């Protein structure tokens, strides 16, 4: 009887472990953006398989304090919300559905994926 109870308890514990969600999920794919280097050259940056639900300040964007990245392309399987301000703050934001891109007029400094 005790062995039966121990097996049942172990099975229940295993089911609980399997039911608990794993670590943070990620958007699968690549997020691309363009920016100007400090020397004034056009460059392309990218983020591979970005973590979902976490604000990402875009590398290269605003590194000189004035310019932002532009022309984002969301080649992931999640919606990307891009912000003009760093830290995913401010009233200026735009959502890009999976597979969508935007023109060079859309300026971005941070992004978060759903």
pLDDT tens, residue order, the chain (114 aa):
444 444 444 444 444 434 444 445 889 999 999 998 888 888 999 999 999 999 999 977 655 556 799 999 999 999 999 999 999 999 999 999 999 999 999 999 999 999
Domains and CATH numbers, the chain: 29-113 (2.60.20)
pTM of the model: 0.74
pLDDT in tens, 39-56: 888 899 999 999 999 999
61 to 9, 47, 54, 81, 110: CA distances (angstroms): 53, 13, 17, 16, 8
């Amino acid at each position: 009887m005790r062995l039966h109870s121990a097996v049942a308890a172990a099975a229940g514990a295993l089911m609980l472990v399997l039911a608990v969600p794993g670590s943070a999920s990620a958007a699968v794919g690549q997020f691309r953006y363009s920016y100007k280097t400090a020397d004034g050259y056009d460059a392309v940056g990218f983020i591979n398989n970005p973590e979902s639900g976490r604000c990402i300040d875009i590398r290269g964007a605003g590194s000189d304090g004035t310019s932002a990245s532009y022309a984002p392309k969301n080649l992931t399987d999640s919606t990307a919300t891009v912000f003009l301000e760093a830290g995913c703050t401010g009233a200026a934001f735009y959502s890009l559905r999976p597979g969508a891109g935007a023109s060079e007029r859309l300026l971005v400094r941070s992004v978060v994926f759903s």
